[in-house]
Structure 1
Amino acid sequence: MQTFYKPLLYFQKHGYHVCQRIADRLGIRAKIVRTSFMYLTFVTLGFGFALYLFLAFWMRIKDILYTKRSSVFDL
């Protein structure tokens, strides 16, 4: 059972960050965003999950390209 819970906990820890960032950007709770992705996945037979993966990939690329600098002297 440990082999099942280890990947599950990893995805819960790192996968919910996408929903949290979207919720922060929209100004709503992350629970609403997670629930809407789940409903979208069940209704459209996987489109919600594909959209979720696309947004996760896009946010990762954006973070790599645009690094946040704390001051002008960090150039």
Structure 2
Amino acid sequence: MSPYLFSADLGRTEIGLKARTITTVAEALTLSISDLFAEYVDARRTGNVARMAAIREYAADLDSDLLAELDGFDYPAAA
């Protein structure tokens, strides 16, 4: 479950307020990148080429290294 959804659902509670105050920008960015990979995997699995292209375009805008990681994320690791 997305921590953003969690904090939004409980945003007016003590737990939600604490979740918002302890989440760093770096953690939020990491979660965002993780979500990006999850969406890319889903788009590949379903063969949605347009969605894959949109995700790749967004990744390229963020960081060219991220785009390279998307290119090779499912290749077998070298031994």
Please report the TM-score for the alignment, with normalisation by the length of structure 1.
Answer: 0.32
Question: Which protein, 1 or 2, shows the higher relative CO under an 8 Å CA cutoff with sep ≥ 6?
Answer: 1
The answer to which structure has the higher helix fraction is 1
